[in-house]
Structure 1
Amino acid sequence: MFGIRPAQPSDQGSLYRICLETADSGGDATHIYRDPLLVGHIYAAPYLAYAPAFAFVLEDGKGVCGYVIGALDTREFESELEREWWPHLRAQYADPSAIPAIRRTPDERLARLIHHPNTAPQNILNAYPSHLHIDLLPRGQGGGNGQRMMQRLFTALREAGSPGVHLGVGGSNTRATGFYRHLGFQELAREASGSLLMGVKL
């Protein structure tokens, strides 16, 4: 039996673990990164810390097995992380920008994002100012859990006044893009890396 509830500070360890175990296009990336916390530093923990009203977890009898997290105002969230989140991580992780991109390790590629975070294009934010991430471990997939979680977050964002939400997904991750399209997301832009930006009106 699965339940969805607001995330709590005590869920931080679960978010880090799930983020890592779904970081390889939805598959386990434990074997890819030497530092198991790096992915979560960027894609999970900041939301629990700075946007807790838009963080929900999926759990069953074995514990937390998924999350959906988001930010109401993406630009404001980016600014807050620049002030509050990235500085202490930059002191821990060296900026690998001097290393040619082709020679960077997976950890170094993530460390570069700590020093040079991605920022959302303003033309996307005009209509889709919110953004989200969702990750489910295999046991939580199927059965409508992902759709229920997305609807829970959509409701929270809509009630807070958001007109639309966007997300990024790897262009080769056809399972995820199909899931998002089923929920009404449309392609907004395609990045040079092949990743897609998709959005849905709320």
Structure 2
Amino acid sequence: MVAEDRLVIRQADGEDLTAVIEVGHRTWPVTYGPIAGDDYVAMGLAKWWTQEATIPAIRAGRVTVAEVDHEVVGMASVGPSDGHLTLWKLYVLPERQSDGIGGRLLRAVIAKAREDGHDEIRLSYLAGNDNAAAFYEHFGFAEIERESSGSGIPDSVWMRLVLTQDGEA
């Protein structure tokens, strides 16, 4: 666990752009390479972990970062999809996983969603990512559907967390 006074969770700004992209480039190969293969990793990095893909989310205030000693070690990004708030990304650098940083990021996302009046948060992960499944289930997310990704890529497992306004998930 990271000492509370060393961990800062905050909204990303333009100064965080390179660090946010770096989180993706360092986490995706180890997360998705074994599950979906190197071609999937290369496609995802080229599509979702670029300046062009990241700048609009930061400008819209939809990216949250976790810093330890002024270094970005994790990030989360949300956005709308089919009328729901969707957690599109939540990643922590491999060497900082199991330090409680992901949980702090997710709790911040949940608190902001509740504050903004959302009644649920949705997300997806690739089938076979057992760490993600266990992590999100621990926080009360429940599977709602599976979506075929095709081309030999594992299914996307969609989950949701129903929010209440009293602070309980």
Cross-structure match for 1:85: none
CA shift, 1:38, in A, is 3.6
CA shift, 1:154, in A, is 0.8
Cross-structure match for 1:103: none
Cross-structure match for 2:29: 24
Task: Check conservation: 1:188, 1:199, Cα contact below 8 A.
Answer: yes
Q: Match of 1:23, SS?
A: helix
Root-mean-square deviation (CA), in Å? Answer: 2.7
TM-score by length of 2: 0.75
Amino acid at match of 1:39: W
CA distance 1:167–1:189, shift in 2 (3 Å): same
Cross-structure match for 1:187: 143
Task: Check conservation: 1:16, 1:45, Cα contact below 8 A.
Answer: no
Which of 157, 162, 165 is the matching residue for 2:113? 157
Cross-structure match for 1:10: 15
Tell me, in whole angstroms, the C-alpha distance in 2 between the residues paired with 1:46 and 1:134.
17
Cross-structure match for 2:3: none
Cross-structure match for 2:58: 48
Q: Which sections of structure 2, spanning at least 5 residues, go unmatched? A: 1-5, 150-154, 164-169
Rg larger for: 1
Q: Match of 1:48, SS?
A: helix
Q: Match of 1:135, SS?
A: strand
Cα deviations by residue, 1:35-56 (Å, 9 ceiling, x for unpaired): 9654314864442133x1x321
Kindly report structure 1 stretches of 4+ aligned residues shifted beyond 6 Å.
28-31
Which of 119, 131, 136 is the matching residue for 2:86? 131
Cross-structure match for 2:102: 146
Cα deviations by residue, 1:94-124 (Å, 9 ceiling, x for unpaired): xxxxxxxxxxxxxxxxxxxxxxxxxxxx4xx
Q: Match of 2:137, SS?
A: helix
Amino acid at match of 1:198: M
Cross-structure match for 2:48: 39
Tell me, in whole angstroms, the C-alpha distance in 2 between the residues paired with 1:146 and 1:172.
19
Q: Match of 2:31, SS?
A: coil
Cross-structure match for 2:152: none
Tell me, in whole angstroms, the C-alpha distance in 1 between the residues paired with 2:15 and 2:103.
24
Instruction: Give the share of equivalent positions with the same residue, in percent.
Output: 24
Report how many residues are paired: 147
Task: Check conservation: 1:16, 1:37, Cα contact below 8 A.
Answer: no
Tell me, in whole angstroms, the C-alpha distance in 2 between the residues paired with 1:34 and 1:162.
31
